[in-house]
Chains A and B, each alone.
Chain A
Amino acid sequence: MPIAERGADSGRISARFEALKVEGRGGLVTFITAGDPDCDTSLEIIKGLPAAGADIIEIGMPFTDPMADGPAIQASSLRALTNGQTLAKTLKMAKAFREGDTETPLVLMGYYNPIYSYGVDRFLNDAKECGVDGLIVVDLPPEEDEELCIPALKAGVNFIRLATPTTDDVRLPTVLANASGFVYYVSILGITGTREIEADPVAEAVARIKRHTDLPIVVGFGITSPDQAQSIASAADAAVIGSAIVRKVEDRVDDNGKAAPETAAAVLEYVGELAAGVRKSTR
């Protein structure tokens, strides 16, 4: 889709990557599932993320059938849904976050059906109004761009594209054609949180994708330690950590799915460790 036909976005994503460039380091992108294990706890976590060192926040929109996710995020989605999380509540959480933070980019990540059910136009309108800067929808490849990607770009909401080890040089232009915000490189063949990442092939892949686009490249799926976060944030523009953070929530949930009082603090402390790793990265 020609740039001229795209609506103006919030500018927060590009501003954040510009700032990272000035700092000379890679960024930290954190993922947690909205409503896991409950609305109040996850909002407390989200609100604390920027101070803990997250540069970009991804909020998972829980879905019953998260086909690209491993056990940790599957379980977190179910915890959230069991406790009554809905897409409307997730948007409300985004709004509550945005009221206290006007700079940190906020990206919603999930699967298409809840959005389709909510209504694409209504969703984009509400997402924009709630201060959402971008969308990552796992089951919408470029072949289905008419569904949500094009309407999102027109509405000024970034549609963040996934590239994977199977996305070869022939296919990359197709994947990047309507990409915006940044490109999310899925570093492993597999689902989230199940295989350990290796820095060398990632650096090669990032270099390969950079030959096709000027957009920032973030890398995720398989980062579990501050050291890995540091090396990936040196090889790419930012490192995404999801399952490892979500497991910290899981660790503090009792058998009835209730959060312990210190859940948010423990999660944020772990994010702080990851942020310290990322801050040692050099670009």
Chain B
Amino acid sequence: MSDATAKANSYRTGPDEGGHFGLYGGRFVAETLMPLILDVETAYEAAKADPGYQADIDYYAKHYVGRPSPLYYAKRITEHLGGAKIYFKRDELNHTGSHKINNVMGQILLARRMGKTRIIAETGAGQHGVATATACALFDMPCKVYMGSVDVERQSPNVFRMKLLGAEVEAVESGSKTLKDALNEALRDWVANVEDTFYIIGTVAGPHPYPAMVRDFQSVIGNETKQQMLEAEGRLPDQLVACIGGGSNAMGLFHPFLDDESVTITGVEAAGHGIETGEHAASLTGGRPGVLHGNRMYLIQDDDGQVVEPYSISAGLDYPGIGPEHSWLKDTGRVDYVSATDKDALEAFQLCSKLEGIIPALEPSHALGHVMKIAPDLPKDHIICMNLCGRGDKDVATVAGLLGVEL
């Protein structure tokens, strides 16, 4: 087979030069930002070609983040469900408690190479904000995190963590006061401070090169999983499962496996109170292609193209869009996208805590909610690997409230 044919049959060659994954992606930003976006792209291409850059990333991944994260056979949940064999990729054990730090380390090292002296970020649940504040403390860079005022209320422990780490947290009062508005406000900050500021976007969305760049940084999850699974089972898993808000933990797990045809890949969106209620955050199931935050993607919107505020129990999945590469993977059919409700996630949250002694974040609880649905009917030699991308300490108060427990 020639090289060209091999490429044509690959799901892993995107994006094209303009940052497109099929119909999706692109660079839909104001002209003020355009030169800077092009600079980021040039700098990232140069960094990729420099072994010193990867060596820096590897160093911090090992000594600061704590990689590789374990691949763990969840024996008790497997036995409880009585079907498929379930593994967890334990990215909740990373420093700061989620996969978000993988991406932040890559971007902050790039920002330093570019000579940028100030960092901004958006955050929903606060996990990306905490990871960014952490890296800024480590590298002694001023950091401003934009967070919707509604999220500031419901994720107050993370707000305090960011402040302890030295970051300034700006409660965003515009629009619907959640993650999408935090992104808008971060972009507005960036437009006003293009000279010295680097914007660390937290997910596989935004203008090119962000979706590809964040994917590359998160792919460490899938690359480790591949190797660890071969060591543990001598073969690849049959199925990967991960939750999806913007889609960064899922893309990190999925991307290295996209060309492994034997592996079924499943992304789990947040169905909130149920897709049929209209109160959900499932962009792929309940949205259609649209343009927001610098890229074309599946977007939850009304008939007039106005963005509709999503809903989920999980502030980290509460985003009306989804990364462009996921949008494309849905259209190609390579990845199956399903959804899990608040109720499914709450059940999974409790089951995992009781059976495995692991309190998962509400985000991967959605993935586990789906695993709980499918595993009982699958054969015992069907191996599922689920990304346990965050720990649930931050959600304990929320869950207590929902279960009617006063803390």
* Complex Cα spacing A139 to B290, Å: 13
Indicate the member of A88, A114, A195 with the most B CB atoms within 10 Å.
A114
**CB–CB B35/A167 < 8 A:** yes
**CB–CB B29/A78 < 8 A:** no
The segment from A18-26, A186-194, A202-210 that touches chain B is A186-194
Q: Judge if B50 is at the interface, Cβ distance under 8 Å.
A: no
Q: Which of A74, A88, A141 contacts B31 (CB 8 A)?
A: A141
Contact with A along B121-143 (1 / 0, CB 8 A): 00000000000000000000000
Nearest neighbor of A141 in chain B, beta-carbon distance: B34
The A-contacting residues of B in range 186-211, CB under 8 angstroms, are: 187-188, 191-195
The B-contacting residues of A in range 89-147, CB under 8 angstroms, are: 111-118, 138-141, 143-144
Q: Judge if A265 is at the interface, Cβ distance under 8 Å.
A: no
B194 partner residues in chain A, CB cutoff 8 A: 166, 189
* Complex Cα spacing A195 to B188, Å: 13
**CB–CB B28/A112 < 8 A:** yes
Q: Judge if A71 is at the interface, Cβ distance under 8 Å.
A: yes
Q: Which of A87, A171, A191 contacts B304 (CB 8 A)?
A: A87
Q: Is the interface of A mostly helix, strand, loop or mixed?
A: loop
Q: Judge if A67 is at the interface, Cβ distance under 8 Å.
A: yes
Q: Judge if A282 is at the interface, Cβ distance under 8 Å.
A: no
A: contact size bracket: 35 or more
Question: Interface size on B (CB < 8 Å)?
Answer: 36
Q: Which of B31, B175, B180, B184 contacts A166 (CB 8 A)?
A: B31
A202 to chain B, nearest CB (A): 15
Q: Judge if B30 is at the interface, Cβ distance under 8 Å.
A: yes
B290 partner residues in chain A, CB cutoff 8 A: 113, 116-117
* Complex Cα spacing A59 to B371, Å: 51
Q: Judge if A251 is at the interface, Cβ distance under 8 Å.
A: no
**CB–CB B31/A164 < 8 A:** yes
**CB–CB B30/A194 < 8 A:** no
Q: Judge if B36 is at the interface, Cβ distance under 8 Å.
A: yes
B291 partner residues in chain A, CB cutoff 8 A: 111-113, 116, 139
The B-contacting residues of A in range 59-98, CB under 8 angstroms, are: 63-68, 70-71, 74, 78, 81, 86-88
**CB–CB B306/A114 < 8 A:** yes
**CB–CB A143/B191 < 8 A:** no
Q: Judge if A34 is at the interface, Cβ distance under 8 Å.
A: no
* Complex Cα spacing A70 to B180, Å: 16
Q: Judge if A162 is at the interface, Cβ distance under 8 Å.
A: yes
B118 to chain A, nearest CB (A): 14
**CB–CB B301/A113 < 8 A:** yes
B175 partner residues in chain A, CB cutoff 8 A: 64-65, 74, 78
Q: Which of A63, A74, A190 contacts B191 (CB 8 A)?
A: A190
Q: Judge if B166 is at the interface, Cβ distance under 8 Å.
A: no
**CB–CB B31/A191 < 8 A:** no
Q: Judge if A253 is at the interface, Cβ distance under 8 Å.
A: no
Nearest neighbor of B308 in chain A, beta-carbon distance: A64
* Complex Cα spacing A141 to B291, Å: 13
B181 partner residues in chain A, CB cutoff 8 A: 65
Q: Which of B34, B184, B187, B304 contacts A143 (CB 8 A)?
A: B34
A164 partner residues in chain B, CB cutoff 8 A: 30-32
Q: Judge if A168 is at the interface, Cβ distance under 8 Å.
A: yes
* Complex Cα spacing A252 to B303, Å: 30
B32 partner residues in chain A, CB cutoff 8 A: 68, 164-166, 186, 189-190
11 contacts across the A-B interface (CB closer than 8 A):
A68-B32, A70-B188, A71-B174, A87-B305, A116-B290, A117-B305, A143-B26, A166-B31, A166-B32, A167-B35, A191-B191
User: Could you list 13 further interchain pairs (A-B, Cβ under 8 angstroms) beyond the known A64-B175, A114-B304, A190-B188?
Assistant: A64-B306, A68-B32, A74-B175, A111-B291, A113-B301, A116-B291, A118-B304, A139-B30, A143-B27, A144-B26, A144-B28, A168-B35, A194-B192
B residues neighboring A (CB under 8 Å):
18, 26-36, 174-175, 180-181, 184, 187-188, 191-195, 290-294, 299, 301, 303-307
